[in-house]
Chains A and B, each alone.
Chain A
Amino acid sequence: MLQTLVSGLESGSWFALLGLAIVVVMKAADVPNFAMADIGLVATYVGISLAGAGVPFWLAVVTTLVTGILLGVVIDVALMRRLAKYGHFPLLLMTIGLSLALTALTGLVWGHDPRSFRAPWTGAAIEVGGGVAIGVSQIVSIVVGLLGAVAISAFFTTPVGAQMRAVAENRATARLVGVNAGRLSAIAWGVGGLIAAVTVMLQAQSALVSTLTPASLIIYGFVAATMGGFTSLFGTFAGGLVLGIIQQLVGTYISTAAQFSVALLVVFLVLVLRPDGFTKGMRLRDV
């Protein structure tokens, strides 16, 4: 049971982080980004290749993160900004197209075999008694997830964060009072790319990732974001964790084949029962 919970928290942290990445871009650029997990995958594969070529682990990690940031910024500046004047729908389609294109490109360059990003702690475990062992990489995922959520929340209370929320809520007003909306949306995409890179990298350090990973990860990320009503960082983070636990419980006690359907059922229920997200009304600070 403890094992299941920890595994749930671990994958929940990935879902939560990806959900946060989605919400950050949603908040500043007002686009649901379906390519988020693919950005993370490309960045992670760059890191894996470097590590495979003998580059020291931490340098490979930093390169992965920087790649995530750059991908996000380039996509915003080169693609999204040109489409912005045509409204939301083309932007949404663009992210879906990008997702397909990035997956295909990753397959072409790196192949479709599952890969892992070996960290010094990959495979290590801590005995917690009763014959239960918790993987160090699980702890790393959970801790990084928590730190990421705290850092992002803190960021949104800074003046730049306040400007970002202002842009998200009312772009026209924000611009009228002098906010540089373009630069803020590039920052949001960069931050989003960074979080996505962290997410997929963590997953690759604990398990295997392949070109199939983004398709399911993005759905879980969106489920988490939906639970936060696409606005609340806390709701998104908690939603991701809860989803991870539900998914592991379903996998352990019902069937791993049912995991995905249950996740979709959760979205359905959230949208029907609490369309604003399940923390709405708790008087928590929304982003």
Chain B
Amino acid sequence: MTATAPETVPRHAGDTPVVEFTGVGKSFGGNTVLENVTLAVRPGFTGLIGPNGAGKTTCLNVVSGYLQPDAGDVTLRGESVLGLSPARVARRGVSRTFQTPRLIPNLSAVENVMVGGSRHFRRGHLAELLGLPSARRDEREQRERAYDLLDALGLGAHPDRPANAFPIGSQKIIEVARALLNDPALLMLDEPAAGLGAEDVDHLVDGLNGWLRERPDAAVLIIEHDLELITRLCPTAAVLHFGRIIQSGAPKDVLRDPVVVEAYLGADLAAGD
């Protein structure tokens, strides 16, 4: 028996979108960051790429409840998440990591991971306070899962050291473990490979693949500048440019598209290539 009771999800062919953006718009002051973004994220890996400032992180913020869009809708398995607080969105099964790791510095790595397990606590707070046996068992399982996740993602030694004692790359791995402890239906990774060595990236990829094998109906949305990693992991990728989706499809094709090349490299370089 697991401690988790994720909402039962109809297991259609892997094609039902986990998350859908429909005509999403967002501007700050007069500055339009997202414009009519429509995107379906299906189970498995999906890449979200684009030049700096294209609005990629804003997309994640809109899903996770951190920002509310000005237009359009965002649905998680058919239900709108608009108007929900970040905590509620997380409890519905959306987990994420951040471009700059956001860990609690004085908590140990493993405790930071445990903080992510909010989905398991829907009914457990009181039981835990009273020290009921069921709560103790859950707690032990949580802790073991936290250690296991850190291990599977390749954090290596010293999971009990405070989070701020780890280099940025390791902090990113701790964040991924924290996100996975929530057993998300949608995992959003904001530049997970930035600051990681090649070996760390391999560990991370193995860990993510392993997790996804156990959760075939879960989706992973990755923002990444490392296009090789995107090509390696994601069957589909969408390109965001000035707040609009300009292309989506298999990464190899997408990256060859002249419009995308121009967006990425600028017209001059593209012409010279």
Which of the 9-residue segments A59-67, A107-115, A176-184 touches chain B?
A176-184
Are B178 and A166 within 8 A (Cβ)? Answer: no
Query: Whole-angstrom distance between the alpha carbons of A169 and B105 in the complex?
Result: 8
Q: In the complex the two chains form, is B107's CB within 8 Å of A178's CB?
A: no
Interface size on A, residues (CB 8 A): 24
Most-contacted residue by chain A among B107, B120, B182 (CB, 10 A): B107
The A-B contact count (CB < 8 A) is: 89
A159-194 with Cβ < 8 A to chain B: 159-160, 162-163, 165-166, 169-170, 173-181, 183, 187, 191
B86 touches A175 (CB 8 A): yes
Within the complex, the shortest CB–CB distance from A161 to chain B, in Å, comes to 9
A178 to B86, Cβ gap below 8 A?
yes
Q: Assess whether A286 is interfacial by the CB under 8 Å rule.
A: yes
> How many residues belonging to B are interface residues under a CB distance threshold of 8 Å?
37
- How far, in angstroms, from A3 to B271 measured CA to CA in the complex? 92
A residues within 8 A CB of B179?
177
Instruction: Assess whether B64 is in contact with A176, with CB atoms less than 8 Å apart.
Output: yes
B116 touches which one: A169, A178, A183, A187 (CB < 8 A)? Answer: A178
Q: Report A138-155 residues with CB < 8 Å from chain B CB.
A: 155
A286 to B: closest C-beta gap in Å: 6
Complex CA–CA separation, A170 to B89 (angstroms): 19
Q: Across the interface, do A177 and B118 meet the contact criterion of CB distance under 8 Å?
A: yes
Q: Report whether B87 and A179 are in contact in the complex, using a CB–CB cutoff of 8 Å.
A: yes
* A191 to B131 alpha-carbon distance, docked (Å): 13
B139 near A159: Cβ-Cβ < 8 Å: yes
Stretch in B8-16, B121-129, B257-265 touching the partner: B121-129
- Which residues of A are at the interface with B, using a C-beta cutoff of 8 A? 155, 157-160, 162-163, 165-166, 169-170, 173-181, 183, 187, 191, 286
Please list the 6 inter-chain residue pairs (A to B) with the smallest Cβ-Cβ separation, ordered nearest first.
A178-B90, A178-B118, A162-B111, A159-B114, A173-B102, A166-B115
